Amino acid sequence: MPIPKNRAPSVRKIKYRTPSGESRVRYRRRVKGGIHKCALSGEKLTGVTSVRGLSASKHRPNRPFGGRLSPSASRRVIIFRSRLASNAITIDEVPVELLPYMRTNAKK
């Protein structure tokens, strides 16, 4: 029987055969989580943590789109939002990848 730390569901059993023909089992722990990435550009988000026991405001930056978009991507969204609000552009001129971040009350 495996030792207690290898009985958890987060541990994978990998069966392999040695050069002598004997089969063995290796235990590999599954990696949890990952790097937080920007939804638009895919770059790493700084200031976002997965540490447990912190308040929500300490998990992510306290700014518009904090924890979801990188600063450069959120800047693009805010610029297009303001242009849309001032009727400088129409909703058709907004790039397709930015449409989910535009307010829905914009008219065509």
pLDDT in tens, the chain (108 residues): 889 999 999 899 999 999 999 999 999 998 777 789 999 999 999 888 877 788 888 888 888 999 899 999 999 999 999 999 999 999 999 999 999 998 755 454
* Those residues with Cβ within 8 angstroms of residue 10's Cβ, 6 or more apart along the chain or in another chain: 29, 30, 32
Helix ranges (H only) for 1-108 are 56-59, 71-85
Model confidence pTM above 0.85: no
